[in-house]
């Protein structure tokens, strides 16, 4: 099912850049807007895919889960600081 595009995106480019886009679109037998849209979306999707998540080896992930299953170790200075903070916080 094809939807109708309703949003606009405008940008300024150099004349030689426009000529390159027009030539490439002509070679591909597509409209310049379609060429630019598909190229920009391809890049945007790749950036999101690469930067929105962190890929780690399975062994690292397994070690992380095992570490999270272990009981925490008491950090005495942090525990004292947290105890003092609860006494100074105004809870209304």
Percent of the chain with pLDDT over 70: 91
Tens digits of residue pLDDT in 10-29: 999 999 999 999 999 999 99
What gap in Å lies between CA 37 and CA 39, rounded to an integer? 6
Provide the pLDDT confidence category of residue 79 given band limits of 50, 70 and 90.
confident
In the chain, pLDDT over 90 holds for what percent of residues? 70
Q: How far is residue 2's CA from residue 88's CA, in Å, rounded to a whole number? A: 60
Q: Burial level of 21, CB count in 10 A (0-12/13-18/19+)? A: middle
Say how many C-beta atoms besides its own lie within 10 A of residue 75's C-beta: 10
Q: Over the chain, what is the mean pLDDT?
A: 91
User: pTM score, two decimals?
Assistant: 0.59
Domain ranges of the chain: 12-70
């Amino acid at each position: 099912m094809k939807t109708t595009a309703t949003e606009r995106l405008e940008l300024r480019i150099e004349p030689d850049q426009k000529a390159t886009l027009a030539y490439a679109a002509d070679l591909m037998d597509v409209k310049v807007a379609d060429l630019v849209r598909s190229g920009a979306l391809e890049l945007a999707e790749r950036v999101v895919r690469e930067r929105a998540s962190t890929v780690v080896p399975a062994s690292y992930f397994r070690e992380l889960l095992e570490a999270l299953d272990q009981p925490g170790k008491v950090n005495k200075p942090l525990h004292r600081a947290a105890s003092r903070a609860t006494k100074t916080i105004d809870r209304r």
